[in-house]
Amino acid sequence: MTGQEGALSGQDSSQADMMQERCILVDSSDNVIGSETKLKCHYGDGLLHRAFSVLLFKGGGQYLLVQKRSADKITFPSVWANTCCSHPLDIPGENEDAVSGVINAAKRKLNQELGIPRQQLDLIDFHHVGRFQYECRWDDNWVENEVDHVIVAQLTGELEDDLHVEPNPNEISETRWLHIGDVWDMVSGKEPVHSDTDIWKDEAVAPWFKLLWKEFLLQQVPELPPSPREGVVSFGEVDMDGNSVVPGQNLMAAIGTHREHVESVIMESLSKMKQERLHGAMRHLFTGGGKRLRATLPRLVGEAVGKAHEGHYTLGASIEIIHNFTLVHDDLMDQDPIRRGLDAVHVAYDDSTAINAGDAMLAVAFEILAESPHIEQDKLAFLVSSIGEMVRNVASGQQEDISFETRESVSEDEYIEMIKGKTSVMFETCAGTGAILAGASDSIVNNMKNWGLNLGLCFQLMDDLIDITGDTETLGKPAGSDIVQGKKTLIAIHALSCGDDMPAFTEAYGSGDCSEDVLSKAVKELHDSGSIGYAKERAMHHHSLAHRCLDDIEDSPALDVLRELTDFQLIRIN
């Protein structure tokens, strides 16, 4: 399956069913222009539609009920948000007057998500305080594109103590009553001011919550309800922090600026091999395209922390060649037939040539570093040592991965250590060497290495998820290959340890081959067991840690590029 239909493959069945609900389409002034399924409103580029955000207070406006979205949610899973966020539907009572429609929808969802009885909801006064337009992308498939109506309510009297809240676990994983000072710490993304501990540093907070709190409530709470605002406040495209961006434009522009240059260095370097068949095998994966993320990453880091120069292209080319060398051998060891939509090198040529090509690529990668006139001799030893350590750790991680296949059990800590070597160390090395080549201080070099490490961990955890929930055409390799090969990914480790009855997963896992029907049922079991949701949460944890590292770097357009890259790591980038 491809496109919108394929995007729901492997998703939680209840959440997928709700994607058929019809949302109300609007223009930028919130005028109704039609209706469309929730799926079409949120998939791909999305469609502008009406939404609402409820904020429920108690204690004279001193405490706000917040929720953590379930890991089963298709968009923005495991993200903290305000009390309730959803959409009025194209149904009677919600598709007529805008204000009464969103309040009626809010009551419906407060009952469905939080389990608040309708009789209690009818005793609460809901106040419409304004509207804002924003767009925020979750990943390549899913996006929020909404005119969001802000609704504020305050509990009084007996309801303060007797409100019945019973969250639907398919919608919400956790709720808290937060003091408004703690809410500010939550949405600010900075060091805590109102509490002693920064409990939010490893948590993701919804961008719409950050926008509406700062725009409509920051200056008014605890005086409730806030004064209503006329018109639609437009924020346009924002990132996960609520900062205005054109999604990925700065990142893609920066990569595009450097890609052609580094590509030429790569191809010139590979031309050192004069043996025709071996040269063809070495070049093979480079003909499959790709963003050349690792190739350009040292340069992007250099621009953010110091003085970037031509040596960064040689450094990036060296690491990219090594990366492709590891892919050649990895595909051969795993017997994966496809890479980036092409035949793997061992398929296009043969096993012996693939091994030989990888060895030659490794040699060329070090050779071009030594020959570069743009790399200072006092930094060359550091670069060679760092990249050599990277190759050694990649090999160690790969061997650990191989050993996992014959072990009955692998712990989560062991898996994280393995992917640090197999995947994350390459991002760590790109960032650290890029920083030192740019003349950065030791503290900044270490900070950027830490950023790269967490970036890589997020990358690999999301890659594991996409292997299971994606499709072969999108992935460029067989979908679900980790399951049928019995890979000890974090998802599988969680599933194997939870003790649930998972017959389809048991049949498919390590089978070497299974039917699409069995694989589809296995993926559903992984959703139902919470294994996929757990892996998503772990990915978000490292995403948050990576952003924390960037907080220590001086703001600049080049740093904004690294922030965009950090957000883009919620999906796989080839």
Mean pLDDT for back-to-back runs of 10 residues, the chain (574 residues): 59 83 90 91 89 94 94 90 95 94 96 95 94 88 92 91 92 92 80 58 87 82 78 84 70 86 94 95 86 92 96 97 94 86 92 96 96 93 95 93 87 95 94 97 97 94 81 52 87 86 89 86 86 86 90 89 81 43
pLDDT given at position 10: 73
Work out the angle between the directed axes of helices 531-550 and 557-568 (0-180°, nearest 10): 170
What does the alpha-carbon distance between residue 23 and residue 38 come to, in Å, rounded to a whole number? 6
pLDDT given at position 573: 39
List, in order, residues 6 or more apart from 300 with CB less than 8 Å away. Answer: 254, 255, 258, 434, 558, 561, 562, 565
Q: How does pLDDT run across 305-364, given as a tens digit for each residue?
A: 999 999 999 999 999 999 999 999 989 988 889 887 789 999 999 999 999 999 999 999
Encoded tokens for 59: 């204690």
What does the alpha-carbon distance between residue 566 and residue 104 come to, in Å, rounded to a whole number? 38
User: Cα(first)–Cα(last) distance of the chain, in Å?
Assistant: 21
Q: Where in the chain is the domain with CATH 3.90.79.10?
A: 3-237
Judge whether 478 and 490 are in contact, CB under 8 Å. Answer: no
Q: Tokens 């498919």 identify what position?
A: 508
pLDDT given at position 570: 60
Closest CA to 396 of 417, 367, 371, 369: 417
List, in order, residues 6 or more apart from 548 with CB less than 8 Å away. Answer: 201
Q: Per the confidence metrics, is the pTM higher than 0.85?
A: no
pLDDT given at position 476: 47
3-237, what's its fold?
Nucleoside Triphosphate Pyrophosphohydrolase (3.90.79)
Q: State whether residue 344 is helix, strand or coil.
A: coil
Name the amino acid, one letter, at 3.
G
What is 249-568's CATH number?
Answer: 1.10.600.10
β-pair type (84-86, 338-339): unpaired
Q: Where in the chain is the domain with CATH 1.10.600.10?
A: 249-568
List, in order, residues 6 or more apart from 33 with CB less than 8 Å away. Answer: 25, 26, 27
Q: State whether residue 268 is helix, strand or coil.
A: helix
Q: How does pLDDT run across 372-413, given as a tens digit for each residue?
A: 999 999 999 999 999 999 999 999 998 998 898 888 889 999
